[in-house]
């Protein structure tokens, strides 16, 4: 008979011995990267500004474009937007935004050119209607204002994520309900476009013809509208339940995962841009500032 050792295993029976070796630790893989709403991508210059500062600059550019009379306001804004797009590398991505404004600016230019009230300098006579030089100038100025405003908003949206904007607004004391409404409005259009594409693909898979003549396309609108409205209502209900489950209405201020602090000079830049735009508009309105 063998004598058992202190660990309970028989010395003479190798099969009953307890293994003293330490089990190998599992291999540790690479550390997963945090999601984009936790880690902010590095950026400098205009991209590195806080979202509220970039929003203030976009608002100031809109005030200058629409508030200053004449050609100076929209031309200055277009120059600033062009320089910002070149620095941030978003010039090519602005092309779809420019193309999207073509129907609107063309209609504005034509209406002003032919129907500008009080204009008495016709370019040529085309029956009962005749374009005028005054109307054409006013139409070109109006189109420049629209394009300047659209491109300033486009540069802001291309260089600022929705997560950063909402987090920065809430961190500066904006009520969470207001932040939620802004976030829902910003994300509504892309989500509706995505949902429409999904519904159209599902309908095509089930044999619905949504291509071809204008009548066929119009006939596919009704099957598209019903699921979109129903899906939007269901999504609102699901989002509301998810927010309540995450204590959205709970009192107190929430802690941000990634606070966006101001860099030196950004506060002055933010308020200076807004104040400068308002002062320029007020000075021109009072007759102190004369611009072409």
pLDDT of residue 230: 77
Helix, strand, or coil here: 113?
Answer: helix
Separation in Å, CA 185 to CA 211, 227, 232, 265, 287: 30, 20, 13, 30, 39
Separation in Å, CA 124 to CA 110, 113, 121, 127: 14, 11, 9, 10
Distance CA 105, CA 118 (A): 22
pLDDT of residue 289: 80
Are 73 and 144 within 8 A, CB to CB? Answer: no
Distance CA 185, CA 189 (A): 8
Listed residue (187, 149, 139, 143) closest to 165, CA to CA = 187
pLDDT of residue 7: 46
Q: Mind giving me the DSSP string for 240-269?
A: HHHHHHTTTT-SSPPPPSS--PPPTTHHHH
Q: Which two tokens stand for residue 204?
A: 């095509």
Listed residue (153, 157, 183) closest to 169, CA to CA = 183
Listed residue (263, 258, 271) closest to 166, CA to CA = 258
Listed residue (149, 139, 136) closest to 66, CA to CA = 149
Run means of pLDDT, 10 residues per run, the chain, 292 residues: 45 47 54 60 72 90 90 91 89 83 86 84 79 88 90 87 80 78 71 74 72 63 70 76 72 67 81 92 87 80
pLDDT of residue 61: 92
How wide is the angle at C-alpha 74 spanned by C-alphas 70 and 78, nearest 5°? 150
Separation in Å, CA 276 to CA 34, 269, 273, 283: 39, 10, 5, 10
């Amino acid at each position: 008979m063998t004598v058992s050792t202190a660990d309970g295993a028989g010395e003479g029976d190798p099969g009953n011995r307890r293994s003293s070796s330490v089990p190998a630790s599992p291999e540790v893989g690479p550390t997963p990267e945090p999601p984009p709403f936790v880690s902010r991508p590095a950026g400098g210059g205009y991209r590195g500004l806080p979202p509220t500062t970039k929003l203030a600059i976009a608002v100031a550019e809109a005030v200058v474009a629409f508030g200053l009379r004449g050609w100076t306001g929209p031309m200055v804004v277009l120059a600033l937007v062009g320089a910002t797009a070149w620095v941030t590398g978003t010039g090519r991505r602005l092309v779809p935004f420019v193309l999207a404004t073509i129907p609107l600016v063309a209609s504005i230019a034509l209406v002003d050119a032919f129907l500008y009230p009080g204009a008495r300098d016709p370019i040529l006579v085309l029956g009962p209607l005749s374009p005028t030089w005054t109307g054409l100038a006013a139409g070109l100025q109006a189109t420049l204002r629209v394009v300047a405003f659209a491109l300033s908003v486009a540069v802001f949206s291309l260089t600022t994520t929705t997560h950063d904007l909402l987090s920065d607004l809430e961190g500066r004391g904006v009520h969470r309900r207001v932040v939620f409404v802004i976030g829902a409005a910003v994300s509504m259009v892309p989500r509706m476009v995505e949902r429409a594409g999904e519904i159209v693909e599902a309908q095509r898979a089930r044999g619905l013809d949504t291509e071809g003549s204008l009548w066929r396309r119009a006939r596919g609108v009704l099957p598209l509208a019903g699921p979109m409205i129903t899906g939007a209502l269901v999504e609102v209900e699901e989002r509301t339940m998810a927010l309540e489950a995450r204590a959205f209405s709970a009192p107190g201020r929430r802690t941000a995962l990634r606070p966006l602090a101001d860099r030196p000079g950004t506060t002055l830049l933010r308020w200076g841009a807004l104040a400068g735009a308002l002062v320029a508009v007020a000075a021109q309105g009072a007759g102190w500032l004369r611009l072409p």
